[in-house]
Amino acid sequence: MNPDYSLGETESLVTRAGRGAGLSWGQAQDAGKAVVRLAVQGLPAADWFAALLPSIEATPYADRCPASVLEQGGVGIKRLWEASGSWLCPVAVGCSLADVVLLLGNQSNRSIIEVKAIRWPMLVAGFVLPVLARANCQVRLQFGQADVLVGHTGVFCEKVLVALSVSQVDELVVTVEPDAPSDAHPRNQSVYPSTPSRCELDPGSYQRLQAFALNATVPSTASSSMTGAGADQIDDN
Amino acid sequence: MRQTQSGAKSAVAADKTQLHHRSESKAAAWQSPVAWQAPLRSPDQVMRLNRLGSFHQSRLSFLRVLLRRMANERWQLRRTHWRVDACGVGTAVYEAKGPVRTYSLIAFARALADEDRSDRVIATAWDASFALFDGVPTEHDLQRLSAQVPLQEAGRITRSEITLSRANRSVRVFDHVRQALASGQQPDSALLDETGYLMRTTAVYGSGKFGALDHRFLRDRQELAMPFQAEMLTVYLIRQFTFDIVEHLAAADSPESATTLSDSTKRALGVGNATGLGMAPFLINHPALFNNWILARETALQQVRSLPQADVEAASDFSRLVSRAQRCANHWSSTHERQQQRITQYRQDLSQLANWLAHDSCFDRPYPWNAIFSWAQEQLSVEGQEAVVSLLLEPHGDIVDELASMMHIDESEHDVLDGAMTVSRIMQLVEAAFPDALATDFGNREQTARFWYVSADKLEPRLGERYQEPGAARESPLAAARDAAALYAACQQFDSHEPIARLVLKHPELRHAARRIQALSRFPYAEIQDNLIAASMQPIDMLRCKLSFFGANHFDPKSDRWVRITLARHAPLMDELASASDDWIYPPAA
């Protein structure tokens, strides 16, 4: 059994690691929350995120983000999301998808987005989870062998974990559709039978997250230890 | 007649529109059949570092909320385990049994050489270390924790533990008390008064730190749902440990002659705390929560000011507490020059207030509490004004205390960006929330002189000098005013009707700023309206603000970013909780 960490520790570590790998603070913060949302669904999202970090570090943002997600000059959503480079980052896609879902909210029609060449596609679910209730919709993610329903009560699918733990797919099809009660949906099997209160992390993933998180910190010097924290060395009382 | 709770609760819904539209005019109110309601103070007035850094503890402070609850619910507090040797090394357990659950403070005491004692967060050894255990620990739990808790940050605790803490002795006071008790004497009260504690904590970690239980799993427990209740329970139980350990050592030193601390001496002692910058970013990173703390306090003030008359008992209580506050002020000292000046002014303020109360029949006027508030605003320093705010709440527990329940919030509902919001709306929000930031020249080095960062060695927040030290490229996202101004500038490059989703896709570096500004529209007291990276910024103001909400007093800054305070000084002892008066923070003359 892997060591477990509190959800707060996990969020903090993922956020700092994301920032250390080159995400903006805003995206790194959203990634931290997204990973924890999936972790409490029983998904090894922190391991997925750890595996993603080297490619984030190696690729400029402009090459790994969707070139555009909205039609020019309007609020229409583009059907095809592609990167300028060779792959799409699930953090950038997840952030943008959560943003535009609110634009699509309360619509009676379903909208389909085709996301090309995305890495660790299941991470996207963690970003959209918190906006679904507000948008009165649910999101279906289809990639490889996986067919996942993300509703505001959780993540549901029929497939086993291995189908979700995919490092890259040629296409992720996202369907944003009007909300429906989860018990009315045929794929109403939660991916995890109970709600974990901790996040288990593979030791290798933990080390990798720690290593990237270090990049978001400033090494101490004798001077900064003294002035930066503001305390003196002497206990005079 | 005092206003009802429902009146107080209705104010919770107050928004900025109400702030601007409520009339300040009492004259108009007297001609109207509708009772006048005092306005909430505006965020522009309250959310300034100078004022936040002048806050005092109040009825709404978390330690007082906890002690009130424990008193009302008749909690049973007792020491259940004491296995400490003559050198002061060993284990103790204190049990706090509430109506539903029991919590246990587990203490590990050690013998620390004087030269190894440091309040710095980089210290690796302490006189005592503690964990607040969820329930009653077994022998196995004690064994497990004995290998982890003394290591503090280098150890691991589990979901069975809620807090992790450590404390050092106050060298002068602890040794003096030990020697005095060993010789059968009570310690020198003047020395105790000067310091106010036997031991001081240097950190009380909670909320999932180092493996502890996440706060989200405490939300459905009434007794710990409020912010920092577990941490305050930890501190309160540590206080009893400090009495027990010094008495134990005195008895070990001289079994024949040793005596114990008198109850009155114990009451006069609290727990010290040395606090550095670690706590400052909390106020920036938790805007919704911070808003609710301030809003509760401001709502309480509003409700008290709106009372049309003062009943005799409340008026008498107020005058009595002002007198006690004067005496307490005389026991407040600091070696920090800025604080010394403020304390001197504060004493003068209280003296002026007492004098005014004695010679002005303010309690016979309509809206007497508002008269006192208005007088203080005009006559006193900011330090004095904020002390008066706290004092005004004291005789009004029936109005104020219930407001504590609004001081917590599930932040997860408020930290999601609304990508559909238009660029023009974002610009309006920035204009409303950061008028000063838009007028600030962030190209001026004075305005960006500092940067917040996290240190690699201890993962602690620190403050650097941007143009003198390396590391600014790894700055933490705490410069809210600068980032809001940058967001505003970027908005000007986009069509005003476009959704913000497009802007943050192109400018991911502004995503956190856009999310924050949206939250501020719902939480008017969420943002400190000063530039937090300016050369003139005093971080100690943030520390004091947060510590005042904990219930701390005797602020004694050691620099602009490090302060010593005392918690639970004059608080009732464990066996006195049920019968003690709630105004213990302003003790009567000995």
pLDDT at residue number B112: 83
For A175-232, how does the pLDDT look when each residue is reduced to its tens digit (9 = 90+)?
999 887 654 454 445 555 556 789 999 999 999 999 999 999 999 876 666 665 555 5
pLDDT at residue number B457: 84
Find residues 108-167 of chain B whose CB sits inside 8 Å of chain A: 117-122, 159
pLDDT at residue number B581: 85
From chain A, pick out residues whose CB is under 8 angstroms from the CB of B217: 197
Mean pLDDT score of chain B: 91
Most confident stretch, A226-230, B249-253, B415-419: B249-253
Q: What percent of chain A has pLDDT over 90?
A: 66
From chain B, pick out residues whose CB is under 8 angstroms from the CB of A96: 419, 501, 505
- Choose between B215 and A191: higher pLDDT: B215
- Per mean pLDDT, which range of A59-63, B276-280, B289-293, B507-511 is the poorest? B276-280
B209 to A95: CB separation less than 8 angstroms, yes or no: no
pLDDT at residue number B113: 80
pLDDT at residue number A162: 80
Among B117, B454, B457, the residue with its CB nearest the CB of A216 is B454
- Per mean pLDDT, which range of A126-140, B15-29, B92-106, B527-541 is the poorest? B15-29
**Residue A116 token pair:** 């090309």
Among A99, A198, A233, the residue with its CB nearest the CB of B159 is A198
B512 and chain A in contact, CB less than 8 A? yes
Distance CA B285, CA B283 (A): 6
Give the residue-averaged pLDDT of B419-438: 94
- Choose between B415 and A78: higher pLDDT: A78
- Per mean pLDDT, which range of A25-39, B30-44, B304-318 is the poorest? B30-44
B210 and chain A in contact, CB less than 8 A? yes
DSSP state of B536: T
Q: How many CB atoms lie within 10 A of CB B154?
A: 9
pLDDT at residue number A159: 63
Nearest CA in chain A to B461: A229
Distance (Å) from the C-alpha of residue B60 to the closest C-alpha of chain A? 26
Of the CA atoms within 13 Å of residue B433, those in its CB half-sphere come to 30
Nearest CA in chain B to A66: B505
Give the residue-averaged pLDDT of A32-53: 95
Distance CA B370, CA B390 (A): 13
Among B159, B170, B511, the residue with its CB nearest the CB of A26 is B511
Closest CA to B126 of B99, B145, B108: B108
Phi, psi of B228 (to 5 degrees): 60, 25
Closest CA to A25 of B68, B335, B477, B66: B477
What is the pLDDT confidence band of residue B1, given thresholds at 50, 70 and 90? very low
Nearest CA in chain A to B472: A218
Distance (Å) from the C-alpha of residue A153 to the closest C-alpha of chain B? 14
Find residues 323-342 of chain B whose CB sits inside 8 Å of chain A: none
pLDDT at residue number B9: 38
DSSP lists the bridge partners of residue A112 as: A175
Distance (Å) from the C-alpha of residue A196 to the closest C-alpha of chain B? 11
A8 to B417: CB separation less than 8 angstroms, yes or no: no
pLDDT at residue number A31: 98
pLDDT at residue number A192: 52
What is the pLDDT confidence band of residue B26, given thresholds at 50, 70 and 90? very low
Distance CA B346, CA B380 (A): 8
pLDDT at position B177 over 80: yes
Give the residue-averaged pLDDT of B4-31: 40
Cut 0.90: pTM above it = yes
Distance (Å) from the C-alpha of residue A20 to the closest C-alpha of chain B? 9
Measured between its terminal Cα atoms, the distance across chain B in Å is: 34
Distance (Å) from the C-alpha of residue B235 to the closest C-alpha of chain A? 20
Distance (Å) from the C-alpha of residue B518 to the closest C-alpha of chain A? 13
pLDDT at residue number B18: 36
Distance (Å) from the C-alpha of residue A85 to the closest C-alpha of chain B? 15
Q: What is the CA radius of gyration of chain B?
A: 25
pLDDT at residue number B11: 39
Nearest CA in chain A to B460: A229
Distance CA B22, CA B375 (A): 20
For B255-267, how does the pLDDT look when each residue is reduced to its tens digit (9 = 90+)?
999 999 999 999 9
Phi, psi of B337 (to 5 degrees): -60, -45
B516 and chain A in contact, CB less than 8 A? no
Chosen from A2, A23, A25, A96 to mutate, greatest number of chain B CBs within 10 A: A25
Give the residue-averaged pLDDT of A99-124: 90
Phi, psi of B80 (to 5 degrees): -110, -10
DSSP lists the bridge partners of residue B95 as: B78, B104
**Residue B115 token pair:** 């030269």
- Choose between A158 and B462: higher pLDDT: B462
DSSP state of A190: B
Helix (H) or strand (E) holding B96: strand B90-97
Give the residue-averaged pLDDT of B175-186: 97
pLDDT at residue number B521: 86
B277 to A73: CB separation less than 8 angstroms, yes or no: no
Among A8, A75, A217, the residue with its CB nearest the CB of B455 is A217
B172 to A25: CB separation less than 8 angstroms, yes or no: no
A24 to B455: CB separation less than 8 angstroms, yes or no: no
Mean pLDDT score of chain A: 88
pLDDT at residue number B122: 61
For B495-505, how does the pLDDT look when each residue is reduced to its tens digit (9 = 90+)?
999 999 999 99
Give the residue-averaged pLDDT of B536-552: 95
Per the CB < 8 A criterion, the answer to whether B423 and B498 are in contact is yes
Give me the numbers of helices (H) and strands (E) for chain B, helices first please: 25, 11
pLDDT at residue number B424: 97
pLDDT at residue number A195: 67
Residue type present at position B267:
R
Nearest CA in chain A to B168: A235
DSSP lists the bridge partners of residue A168 as: A119
Give the residue-averaged pLDDT of A170-174: 97
